[in-house]
Structure 1
C-alpha cells in the first residue's frame, strides 16, 4: 500500500516514470525541488524499446553524475550503410572523429531496461523527490493557484495531491494530455512495421553484417541495428495483407528473420508490430500542465531519436520551471518551452520523414532513380555523413538574434586542470554561462561583474590551468582545440550559454558581449 498522504502539496508532479519522467525528476530533485513522480507500473519494462542515444543525452547523464554508470550499458553506434534497389551502397552515416564536441561519443546504442533502473535508483535516493508506483491518474483539475491530481493505486485506494505544475510524461496514450484537451497533429507518416530484438549467439554473429544496415529495397524495406553486446535489432516493414498479430508471433518473426538467421542462431528477446507515426502536439502547455516525450510527439525510428527527443523536452522545461518557482520567470518563459521544442521536433521529424521516404520507396523504378540521384549527388563516390549533422538547432524562442552558432548546442571541451583534464561542465556547472577565449584580465571590470551576475564566466585562455572548482570564474586552457575551432567557425569570441547547453547568443568582441548582456538582461526581465 502507498504511503502517499491525501492533499499533500508539491512544486512539480510528474506522471510517468519512463526515461523522460525519470530525467525530469532527477533534474528537479538535484535542485531540491519538491517533486512527486507517479507511474501505474511498479517495475521497469524488462525489454528494450529505445536503442539509441546521443552525446547530448549523455551530457545530461553527466550532469546527474550518472554518465560513468550508464556508460556500462552503452556502446558506440556502428556506421549505418544504406543499400539500394540493386544492392549497391547509396548512403553512409557514421560518427565524427575525436575530439568529440560534447565530450562523449556522439552516437551510441544502449540497453534500455538497465539504464532505466540506474535512473530510477538515482531518483529514489533524492531527498526532495517522492516516488509512488502502482498509481494511476484518475482525474486532473487546475485553477489559478495549483493543479490537483486524483490518483488511484492498484488496490483501488484514491488520494488527491496538489502541485504548482504538472508534467505529463505518460506515453503515446497520455492520460495527462487527454485530461487537458491537448490534441496531436498528424505529420503524415503511417507505416506498419515489425520490430524484433534478438540475443544472438556466436554462430549467428558470424552470419551478420559488421555494420548497421538500411535495406532500401522496394520488395521489403528493413533495418538492421547492432546493439550492445550480442543484442541485434531488426525493423522490418510489413507488406499489404500481412497480419500484424501473426508477424509479431515467434513463428511470424522467424519467417522474416530467416534471410539472416535461424532459431539456432539466437533467442528472440522481443517482437512487436507497430504503426510508425509522425505526430506532434498542437500545444505543449495548458495552464499549469505540460506534456513531454511520447505524450507530446511520436516520430519514425530511422535515426533512433525517440527517447532523445523526450529527454531534450524535459531538460528544456525543467530549468524554466526552476526559474519560475524561484520567482525569476513567468508565463513567457514557460511558453517558450512549447515554442522551442515544438519547432525543433517538427524540424527533426521532417528530416526523419525524408530518410523514411528514402528507405520506404516501394516502386522499383522510382527506387532506382532515387539510388542514381543519391550516388550522383555524392559525386559518384559515397562519402560518410555525420549522424549528428542531421540534428537541427533551436530556431525560435529565447535566443538572441540569428547569428551563426545561435541555437546550437555549445561544445563541452576538456579543460586543463591541476588534477588532470576535466570536462567543462564539471568545472563550470550547468547554469547560465558566458564562455570566451578572451583572458579574464582583458575584460573591463564592470563587464566581468555583469557576467558573474548572470552565472559563471569561463575564460579559455592559452596556458591557464584551472584549479578552483565551483566559483564564479573558471579560467583554463582547453586540451583539444574544440572551442577554438567552434569560435573560429562562428567568427566570435564569446557565447552566452543557457542551462540546457544551447547558445543564447554570440559576440565577436568584448564590446559586442556588453551589448549581448544588455539584450539578455532585457529579455530575461520580460519572461
Structure 2
C-alpha cells in the first residue's frame, strides 16, 4: 500500500475516511488514474463486525473492481427473515428474489466486515496514483475557486496543508468534513435505543438456534436475529426505557438477554455495543468542491441491512461523475445531480425501513396484536413473502431520461453470457462504462454504433438468448433469458445504461432511442 513516503501536496481528490465507502471511492478513482490522497485518523481497521449485509448491486461493483472472488470468501447467503408476532406466530417473511438472479450474484448476502474492509483497502492502495496516510486527521478545510485546501495533522502532531480539486468526506456519522463545510443533518424522525450483540457460536450449539434469520416482534422486547457467515450470529435487542445502555453492554447483562437462545458456555462474545438507531440525512451533499458520502451523508435504521450498501451506492454514483469532470468531458453541473439522486433515494428507502422498524418496535400489546392481524390480513390470513429487492427503490430523479420512459432509474440486469462450455457475466464484456445494450433479436450493434457518436467511451453490445435467432450474428448469447425477459417486460429494444449500472432510459423503438441519445449527449456535455 502506498504511504506517506509518497507525499505530495496537490491531488485531484482528497478522500477523508478510509472505511468501506472511502476505500471504494479511492479504489474507483485510482482505477481511473486520478491522483488521490486518502487520510484516516485511525491507524488500523476496527477488528469487530459492524455492517453485516451486502447485496448483489454491491457485489457487482466489487466484481468491476476485480475483488469479488476475494470478498465472496467472507460471505454467505442472507437467509430469509421470518417475522414473528406478539404471540410468537409467523406473520411475514422477507426473502430475496429467486434464481436466475437478475444481477448475476446471490441477491442478499451476509459478510464479515474486518477482512472485507482489508480487501477494499488493499485494492485502493494498489494504484500508484493513490496515497494513503493513516493516523492522519483533517483539522481544517478552506474552499477556493479552483481548489480546496485541507490542513492535516499526523500522529506525531505535525501539521501540513494539501490542495485537491475535490474533497470527498467519508468520515462517518460525526463527519468533520460535513461540519467544516457547513452541511447539516435533517432528522427523519426515528430514534430508538438498541443493543447489538455479535457472538461466535460454538459448533454444537448451532443446531439449537433458529435456522433462519428472524424478527421477534414481541412488544415486551423486540429482537432481531441474523445468521452471519460460518459461526457468526447477531442479535439486535431493543433496550427498555429504564435500562442504561452502558450497563447493558456489560457481559453479565448481555448473556442474560441472550439466555432464551444460548449461555456463555455456548459461544464467545465478539462485540456488544449500544446504539441509538437514527434516521438522518444531510441537507446538502455538495458544497462547491466538497462532497460527502456514506454515514457522513445519512444514517438509517438497520432493519433490512442497507447501511453500508447505501454508502457504496453513494461513491459509485459520485466517482463516475467526478471522473468525467476531472477529464473535462462534462461540466461541474454534472455533480449537482449527485445530491438530487442520492438524497431522494436515501429518503425513500429510509421511509420504507422506518415503516418496517416502527412495526418491529411496537411496544403496546394491543397495537401489536392489531399489527399482527393487519399483516396477516394482507396475505388472506397467511404470512406473505416480500423480497428485500422490492424494498430498495429505483433512482427517481436526476440524470435520467424523461418521465414515462421505460425502465428509467432501474438497475440494469446482468445476464450470464455463454462462451463455449463456460459463461461470463455481461459486465466482463462491457466494463462499468456508459453502455448501449441492444435486444439482439430486434436490433444490431451496427445500427446502435451509428446512433451514439459523441458520447465519450460508450460501449455498444447486442445480446440475444442462446438458441434463438438474432438479427445481429455477432450478438452475445445469454444463458437464462434474464435480459430478453427484461426487454420484453418493458417493451424495449435497447437501453442506455450508466457506469453505476442504473438505466438512463430504455427505448421502445429506434426513433425513441435516437431522442434519448440526443438528450443524454446534451446533458453530459
TM-score normalized by the length of structure 2: 0.96
Moved more, 57-66 or 7-16: 7-16
Name the SS for the 2:196 alignment partner: strand
Question: 1:482 matched to which residue of 2?
Answer: 482
Alignment deviations for residues 55-77 of structure 1 (CA, whole Å, 9 cap, x no partner): 00000100100001100000000
Following the alignment from structure 1 to structure 2, what is the Cα–Cα distance between the partners of residues 52 and 240? 28
Following the alignment from structure 2 to structure 1, what is the Cα–Cα distance between the partners of residues 487 and 289? 39
Question: 2:418 matched to which residue of 1?
Answer: 416
Q: How big is the shift at 1:441?
A: 6.8
Question: 1:120 matched to which residue of 2?
Answer: 121
Alignment deviations for residues 441-486 of structure 1 (CA, whole Å, 9 cap, x no partner): 75775x5233365311110134599xxxxxxx97301111100111
Following the alignment from structure 2 to structure 1, what is the Cα–Cα distance between the partners of residues 486 and 318? 27
Q: How big is the shift at 1:118?
A: 0.8
Question: 1:457 matched to which residue of 2?
Answer: 460
Q: How big is the shift at 1:263?
A: 0.3
Name the SS for the 1:232 alignment partner: strand
Question: 1:431 matched to which residue of 2?
Answer: 433
Name the SS for the 1:451 alignment partner: coil
Question: 1:407 matched to which residue of 2?
Answer: 409
Question: 2:157 matched to which residue of 1?
Answer: 156
Question: 1:468 matched to which residue of 2?
Answer: none
Name the SS for the 1:122 alignment partner: helix
Question: 1:40 matched to which residue of 2?
Answer: 41
Question: 1:51 matched to which residue of 2?
Answer: 52
Q: How big is the shift at 1:206?
A: 2.5
Give yes or no for the alignment of 1:110 onto 2:114.
no
Change (3 A) 1:6 1:492: closer
Alignment deviations for residues 254-311 of structure 1 (CA, whole Å, 9 cap, x no partner): 1201111110110100000000000000000011000000000000000110000000
Alignment deviations for residues 136-178 of structure 1 (CA, whole Å, 9 cap, x no partner): 0110111001011110011101111110000000000101010
Following the alignment from structure 1 to structure 2, what is the Cα–Cα distance between the partners of residues 6 and 117? 22
CA contact (8 A) 2:196 2:235 kept: yes
Change (3 A) 1:150 1:248: same
Give yes or no for the alignment of 1:496 onto 2:499.
no
Following the alignment from structure 2 to structure 1, what is the Cα–Cα distance between the partners of residues 516 and 374? 44
In structure 2, stretches of 5+ residues that fail to align are none
Following the alignment from structure 2 to structure 1, what is the Cα–Cα distance between the partners of residues 467 and 62? 28
Name the SS for the 2:118 alignment partner: helix
Question: 1:167 matched to which residue of 2?
Answer: 168
Alignment of 1:86-485 (within 5 A): 86-402=87-403, 403-418=405-420, 420-438=422-440, 442=444, 445=447, 447-451=448-452, 453-454=454-455, 455-462=458-465, 475-485=475-485
Change (3 A) 1:58 1:370: same
Alignment deviations for residues 468-507 of structure 1 (CA, whole Å, 9 cap, x no partner): xxxxx97301111100111111111111000100000110
Alignment deviations for residues 404-454 of structure 1 (CA, whole Å, 9 cap, x no partner): 311010001111224621100001111100111146975775x52333653
TM-score normalized by the length of structure 1: 0.95
Following the alignment from structure 2 to structure 1, what is the Cα–Cα distance between the partners of residues 219 and 310? 29
Q: How big is the shift at 1:97?
A: 1.4
Question: 1:470 matched to which residue of 2?
Answer: none
CA contact (8 A) 1:319 1:500 kept: yes
CA contact (8 A) 1:79 1:94 kept: yes
Alignment deviations for residues 374-425 of structure 1 (CA, whole Å, 9 cap, x no partner): 1011111223211111000000100002323110100011112246211000
Following the alignment from structure 2 to structure 1, what is the Cα–Cα distance between the partners of residues 212 and 484? 33
CA contact (8 A) 2:438 2:445 kept: no
Change (3 A) 1:287 1:441: closer
Q: How big is the shift at 1:34?
A: 0.6
Q: How big is the shift at 1:227?
A: 0.2
Name the SS for the 1:450 alignment partner: coil
In structure 1, stretches of 5+ residues that fail to align are 466-472
Name the SS for the 1:477 alignment partner: strand
- Misfit runs of 4+, over 6 Å: none
CA contact (8 A) 2:444 2:475 kept: no
CA contact (8 A) 1:94 1:384 kept: yes
Following the alignment from structure 1 to structure 2, what is the Cα–Cα distance between the partners of residues 512 and 340? 24
Following the alignment from structure 1 to structure 2, what is the Cα–Cα distance between the partners of residues 154 and 212? 42
Question: 1:508 matched to which residue of 2?
Answer: 508
CA contact (8 A) 1:201 1:230 kept: yes
Following the alignment from structure 2 to structure 1, what is the Cα–Cα distance between the partners of residues 381 and 136? 57
Name the SS for the 1:120 alignment partner: helix
Alignment deviations for residues 162-208 of structure 1 (CA, whole Å, 9 cap, x no partner): 10000000000101010111100000000000000000012321221
Question: 2:74 matched to which residue of 1?
Answer: 73
- RMSD (Å) for aligned C-alpha atoms: 1.8
Following the alignment from structure 1 to structure 2, what is the Cα–Cα distance between the partners of residues 523 and 414? 32
Following the alignment from structure 1 to structure 2, what is the Cα–Cα distance between the partners of residues 229 and 463? 37
